[in-house]
Chain A
Amino acid sequence: MSSFLVILVIVAYLATIFYVAYWAEKNSKSNWVNNPYVYTLSLAVYCTAWTYYGSVGLAATSGLKFLTIYLGPVIIIPAWIILMKKILRIAKGNKISSLADFISLRYGNDRFLGALVTVICVFAIVPYISLQLKAISETFNVITNHKLPGNTVFNDTTLYIAILLAIFAAFFGTQNTDATERHKGIITAVALESTIKLFFFLVIGVYVTFFLFNGPIDIYNQASILSNFEIQQKINGVEGGINWFLLSILSMIAIMLLPRQFQVTVVENEREKYLKKVIWLFPLYLMLFNVFVILIAWAGNIYFQNQHVNADHFTLLLPLFNNNHTLALLGFLGGFSAAMSMVVVSTLALSTMLSNNLIIPYGFLTRFSKGESHKNNESIKNIRRIAIFTLVIIAYFFYKSFTLDKSLVSIGLISFVIIAQLAPAFFGGLFWRRGSSKGAKYGIIVGFLVCIYTLVIPFTIESKIIASTFLNEGLFGIEVLKPYQLFGLQILDPVTHAFFWSLFFNIITYAIVSVNIIGNYRERNFAEMFVDSTKYAMLHEDAYVWKGEAYVRDIRKVLSRFLGERRTDRAMNLFFMKYNLDKNTQFADARLVNFSEKLLTGSIGSASARILISSVVKEEEISLTEVLNILDETQKAKESNKELKERDKQKDEFLDTVAHELKTPITSIRALSEILLDHDDVDNATKTKFLNSILKESERVSRLINNILDLEKLASGRQKLNLTKNSIKNTVQKSIDAVKQLAINNNIEITNEVIEDKIFLFDDDRIEQVIINLLSNAIKFSNDEKGQVSVHAKIYQNSIEVSVEDNGKGIGTDELVSIFNKFYQSKNQTLLKPVGSGLGLAISKQIIESHNGKIWADNINPQGARITFTLPLNINKYEEAADS
């Protein structure tokens, strides 16, 4: 295939992607751009040219080991529903725009730590970018059948492609100074590329499996007769198992801490609920991608068994070998997409870190604090653009000098191990309050040094093909310092070996230093906020503990240097509204300080924001215990405030219902009275009827008012129970006598089935009130034909159970609990409205519960309802316990 054609295709493809990104930026509110699928697909930036080509190569030479890079993510991602939610909340709450910001903020907004994390990331990711360029370059040559890459720099297409990618990243990535603003264009483009790369890979997979061979079984059969087959497919015993285990942990860390992953997962996240799709869709994507990796690898081994072919390129070579140029070109485009996404997102993430956490805090702050907002913002954007181009150029030269004869996978794994040095500080910071900034710094540095010694140096030496005694005999000839076998640990591959030792020393340093050197109060403030993020999430600016003197106008001046006058005004007005403060407040409090820091964080990073703000305010030292106390109090205040608001709302609702219930009888009274007054010619029978009704409704009003007052007094505990020794049998009989007339009127027979008596402490009048209420209800709802109501009692060792049964229709199962609510009127009542106020059962419940008893309803056989209540026989025991 001619290079010219391929270049044309690349340019056309880039133009399409550019257009998609542009469209997404213009339509950033559209559902096509904001949805969980785009989000999930953007996470697939994890699969780079490494997956596309390198995995196949690894599978062809070392069997199933390639899976470990995806096993890690597949295992940890379901846990994201809790873990990532926490990270997202912290990030959103503090306007965090990068991994360096996150870590530096956790450890007290530490400028040096932010810079250190940035440097580590650059070290780790530049080689990773190189490997993408290497993949593009090599596969370009495979497709166009060149033997050597371009000789001079200017002949090398890869350089030009790299520059185009940098232009893409710079254009779409630096539209806003505030790095917490989403980059919808880039993310949509990345999501599209994730779809494309998966699709083309699957197409090639299907082609190889079903067109070149007769299905997976066929490939397996043909592959199994190859010489190396058996060895490759095994995990290789305990040694292999440990290597697998460590590699999986490594990839678990990578999927979270790789700067590009942090960027797409955390910084670019629009809604927390997208995580719900991610936890199954993303692992599915990963597994789908890998389904064909092993098959293509085997197929490649079969086809090219006696040739010296780079297994990394099987994906393209197989179609090419069979003269299917279109398919090969599609495959190339897929790999190109994979590489492109990685380069664009990584340079974006790294440039933000470089500007916000390294360059601005250490170089430009004084200049910015004096400049105008317009100029400042342009400068910040330019710093980031220059950073993007510089990174790409450095990656290019790194690729030219170092990576020519290394496999893609090995370079990638070194990146992973370097990034993993941030894991103790990151995860420790999320779960361990004692983790301190010094601990994090020393841990990272130590881990990084071990990493260099065990991995980077041997790697670079090897690639220079310098035979080295260093490798075989250790530093200065000391055996235990052999870089690939530190302290004699021989069972691990170079990568897992480096990973193990670097993290080992990293964690130990982190832990020991943190325990011995406690951080200052500022650190502890953030430590509490991060570790206990759920508790403090609601507090927002209140969680920031700060004492000192600050003037609003000084803070305003600083803010407008970056946000401009208008945005500063708007933001401040929002703040004053949120906390109900006067717009002309002179003195700034802790909340405003925190708010202002957060506003600047997106543009210049959290460390710089703090430095700038603290330059205009006077801060006082507070002790650590004071910080914790204040935090605790603030949080408790917020909680009790919520409770009070709830209770107020309930009271309002109750009053509304009461008013409504009172209006009804009063309406009748008024209407009937008016009629009697206005009409002289009302006949006597009607007159009597009306007057009787007026009387009844008046009684209803009185009863209602009394019941409500009763209920209130009982509920608030103001009415003390009159506890005397009484006979329960006696009380039951009195209640039955009280409703005797009502029962006769309704043709109901009441029977007292209480046989055994018990004398104990209870409020005689109140319990009689309860039983009368239960009996009235039973009479009301009993069977019309042969109504039967009965009262029973069961005596236990510590309590007595009294129940009232009727043989009516029973109570619906969905109403068994709600009938005890105030003003509850059953849905199944007869059309005639009951005389009661709807409060009887509520009052009964209140009375029983004041006795520390329980009351409930159920249905009996064959039909009918039963309401039961219990009373403790030794109520004083409860009273004593309650008072103490």
Chain B
Amino acid sequence: MKKLLIVDDEPNIVMSLEYLFQKENFEVFIARDGAEAIEITEKVLPDIILLDIMMPKVDGYQVLNYLKSVEELSQIKVIILSAKTKISDVELGLQLGADKYVTKPFSTKKLVADVVELLNKNTKK
């Protein structure tokens, strides 16, 4: 079973994503802020992370930066899920190494498709 980590501080969004991906047979983990996200990532080594940006204390950019700087964590796929929609935000996210940038509100169907596609790309390699 593939492991998926949801990083977001909004309980209702987390609830919806958790249900969605558990239905898709993922093992779902949850982190509510940046620090917890890094902790869980290092412990569990998920295959893909759904990462929110605006979180208290440690934000998504800092998490992404950290992950990409550590050899064994840098291969984990990351999809940014954020309400920040300015071009500069998207560029920054992609520059920092995110594999995809999805703006909120998002379509659940499309998000699932994106996650599957990214993970398949991985196995193809």
Q: Check A667 against B105 for contact (C-beta < 8 Å).
A: yes
CB contact between A671 and one of B16, B56, B83 (< 8 Å): that residue? B16
Q: Check B108 against A831 for contact (C-beta < 8 Å).
A: no
Q: Check B15 against A689 for contact (C-beta < 8 Å).
A: yes
- Shortest CB-to-CB span from A652 to chain B, Å, is 12
| Distance between Cα atoms of A675 and B111 in the complex (Å) | 12
Question: Which residues on B sit within 8 Å (CB–CB) of A666?
Answer: 104-105
Q: Known: A678-B108, A686-B19. Is A667-B13 also a contact (CB below 8 A)?
A: yes
Q: Check B105 against A671 for contact (C-beta < 8 Å).
A: yes
Question: Which residues on A sit within 8 Å (CB–CB) of B10?
Answer: 664, 667-668, 833
Check A670 for interface membership: any CB of B closer than 8 A: yes
Q: Check A827 against B20 for contact (C-beta < 8 Å).
A: no
Question: Which residues on A sit within 8 Å (CB–CB) of B83?
Answer: 660, 663-664, 667
Check A312 for interface membership: any CB of B closer than 8 A: no
| Distance between Cα atoms of A829 and B56 in the complex (Å) | 9
Query: Binary interface profile of B, 1-39, with partner A (CB < 8 Å = 1, else 0)?
Result: 000000001111101110110010000000011000000
Q: Check B54 against A833 for contact (C-beta < 8 Å).
A: no
| Distance between Cα atoms of A669 and B106 in the complex (Å) | 11
Q: Known: A675-B20, A832-B11. Is A667-B104 also a contact (CB below 8 A)?
A: yes
Give the residue name and chain of the B residue nearest to A826 (CB): B56
Determine the interface band of chain A, counting residues with CB < 8 A from chain B.
Answer: 20 to 34
Question: Which residues on B sit within 8 Å (CB–CB) of A832?
Answer: 11
The interface size of chain B toward A, counting residues with CB under 8 Å, comes to 24
Give the residue name and chain of the A residue nearest to B33 (CB): A831
Check A570 for interface membership: any CB of B closer than 8 A: no
Q: Check A675 against B19 for contact (C-beta < 8 Å).
A: yes
Check A679 for interface membership: any CB of B closer than 8 A: yes
- Shortest CB-to-CB span from A838 to chain B, Å, is 12
Give the residue name and chain of the B residue nearest to A697 (CB): B12
Q: Known: A660-B83, A668-B13, A693-B12. Is A678-B109 also a contact (CB below 8 A)?
A: yes
Check B57 for interface membership: any CB of A closer than 8 A: yes
| Distance between Cα atoms of A665 and B105 in the complex (Å) | 9
| Distance between Cα atoms of A665 and B11 in the complex (Å) | 10
- Shortest CB-to-CB span from A774 to chain B, Å, is 23
Give the residue name and chain of the A residue nearest to B86 (CB): A656
| Distance between Cα atoms of A825 and B109 in the complex (Å) | 32
Query: Binary interface profile of B, 82-110, with partner A (CB < 8 Å = 1, else 0)?
Result: 01100000000000000000001111110
Question: Which residues on B sit within 8 Å (CB–CB) of A682?
Answer: 19
Q: Known: A664-B83, A831-B9, A831-B33. Is A672-B104 also a contact (CB below 8 A)?
A: no
Q: Is the interface of B mostly helix, strand, loop or mixed?
A: loop
- Shortest CB-to-CB span from A822 to chain B, Å, is 16
Give the residue name and chain of the A residue nearest to B10 (CB): A664
Question: Which residues on A sit within 8 Å (CB–CB) of B12?
Answer: 665, 668, 672, 693, 696-697
Check A674 for interface membership: any CB of B closer than 8 A: yes
- Using a CB-CB cutoff of 8 Å, which residues 806-832 of chain A contact chain B? 825, 827, 829, 831-832
Q: Known: A671-B17, A675-B20, A689-B15. Is A663-B9 also a contact (CB below 8 A)?
A: no
**B11, B32, B57, B104 pick with most chain A CB within 10 angstroms:** B104
Question: Which residues on A sit within 8 Å (CB–CB) of B17?
Answer: 671
Question: Which residues on B sit within 8 Å (CB–CB) of A663?
Answer: 83, 104-105
- Using a CB-CB cutoff of 8 Å, which residues 16-74 of chain B contact chain A? 16-17, 19-20, 23, 32-33, 54, 56-57
**B11, B12, B54 pick with most chain A CB within 10 angstroms:** B12
Question: Which residues on B sit within 8 Å (CB–CB) of A693?
Answer: 12, 15
- Shortest CB-to-CB span from B20 to chain A, Å, is 6
Q: Check B54 against A671 for contact (C-beta < 8 Å).
A: no
**A668, A690, A696, A825 pick with most chain B CB within 10 angstroms:** A668
- Shortest CB-to-CB span from A488 to chain B, Å, is 80
- Shortest CB-to-CB span from B124 to chain A, Å, is 27
Question: Which residues on A sit within 8 Å (CB–CB) of B107?
Answer: 670, 674
Give the residue name and chain of the A residue nearest to B81 (CB): A667
Q: Check B84 against A671 for contact (C-beta < 8 Å).
A: no
| Distance between Cα atoms of A81 and B23 in the complex (Å) | 71
- Shortest CB-to-CB span from B107 to chain A, Å, is 7
CB contact between A670 and one of B20, B23, B56, B105 (< 8 Å): that residue? B105
| Distance between Cα atoms of A832 and B11 in the complex (Å) | 8
| Distance between Cα atoms of A730 and B107 in the complex (Å) | 50
| Distance between Cα atoms of A668 and B15 in the complex (Å) | 9
Question: Which residues on A sit within 8 Å (CB–CB) of B109?
Answer: 674, 678
Question: Which residues on B sit within 8 Å (CB–CB) of A670?
Answer: 105-108
Q: Check B16 against A672 for contact (C-beta < 8 Å).
A: yes
Give the residue name and chain of the A residue nearest to B20 (CB): A675
Q: Check A674 against B57 for contact (C-beta < 8 Å).
A: no
**A660, A667, A674, A696 pick with most chain B CB within 10 angstroms:** A667
Question: Which residues on A sit within 8 Å (CB–CB) of B23?
Answer: 679
- Shortest CB-to-CB span from B18 to chain A, Å, is 10
Q: Check A827 against B56 for contact (C-beta < 8 Å).
A: yes
Question: Which residues on A sit within 8 Å (CB–CB) of B33?
Answer: 831
| Distance between Cα atoms of A670 and B57 in the complex (Å) | 27
| Distance between Cα atoms of A672 and B14 in the complex (Å) | 10
| Distance between Cα atoms of A660 and B13 in the complex (Å) | 15
| Distance between Cα atoms of A304 and B107 in the complex (Å) | 100
| Distance between Cα atoms of A666 and B12 in the complex (Å) | 10
| Distance between Cα atoms of A690 and B13 in the complex (Å) | 11
Question: Which residues on B sit within 8 Å (CB–CB) of A672?
Answer: 12, 15-16
Q: Check A660 against B54 for contact (C-beta < 8 Å).
A: yes
| Distance between Cα atoms of A832 and B10 in the complex (Å) | 8
Q: Known: A671-B20, A693-B15. Is A827-B108 also a contact (CB below 8 A)?
A: no
- Shortest CB-to-CB span from B70 to chain A, Å, is 25
- Shortest CB-to-CB span from B11 to chain A, Å, is 7
- Shortest CB-to-CB span from B16 to chain A, Å, is 4
Give the residue name and chain of the A residue nearest to B83 (CB): A663
Give the residue name and chain of the A residue nearest to B104 (CB): A667
Give the residue name and chain of the B residue nearest to A686 (CB): B19
Q: Check A825 against B56 for contact (C-beta < 8 Å).
A: yes
| Distance between Cα atoms of A696 and B107 in the complex (Å) | 20
Question: Which residues on B sit within 8 Å (CB–CB) of A829?
Answer: 56
Query: Binary interface profile of A, 858-883, with partner B (CB < 8 Å = 1, else 0)?
Result: 00000000000000000000000000
Q: Check B56 against A667 for contact (C-beta < 8 Å).
A: no
- Shortest CB-to-CB span from A676 to chain B, Å, is 10
| Distance between Cα atoms of A831 and B35 in the complex (Å) | 12
Question: Which residues on B sit within 8 Å (CB–CB) of A667?
Answer: 10, 13, 83, 104-106
- Using a CB-CB cutoff of 8 Å, which residues 642-687 of chain A contact chain B? 660, 663-672, 674-675, 678-679, 682, 686
| In the complex, the 5 A-B pairs of residues with the closest C-beta atoms, listed nearest first | A668-B12, A671-B16, A663-B83, A667-B104, A667-B105
5 additional contacts (CB under 8 A) given A674-B107, A693-B12: A664-B10, A675-B16, A675-B108, A833-B9, A833-B11
24 A-B contacts, Cβ less than 8 Å apart?
A: A660-B84, A664-B10, A664-B13, A665-B12, A666-B104, A667-B13, A667-B104, A667-B105, A667-B106, A668-B12, A668-B13, A668-B16, A670-B106, A671-B13, A671-B106, A671-B108, A672-B12, A672-B15, A679-B23, A682-B19, A689-B15, A690-B15, A693-B15, A827-B56
User: Which residues of A approach B to under 8 Å, CB–CB?
Assistant: 660, 663-672, 674-675, 678-679, 682, 686, 689-690, 693, 696-697, 825, 827, 829, 831-833
User: Which residues of B approach A to under 8 Å, CB–CB?
Assistant: 9-13, 15-17, 19-20, 23, 32-33, 54, 56-57, 83-84, 104-109
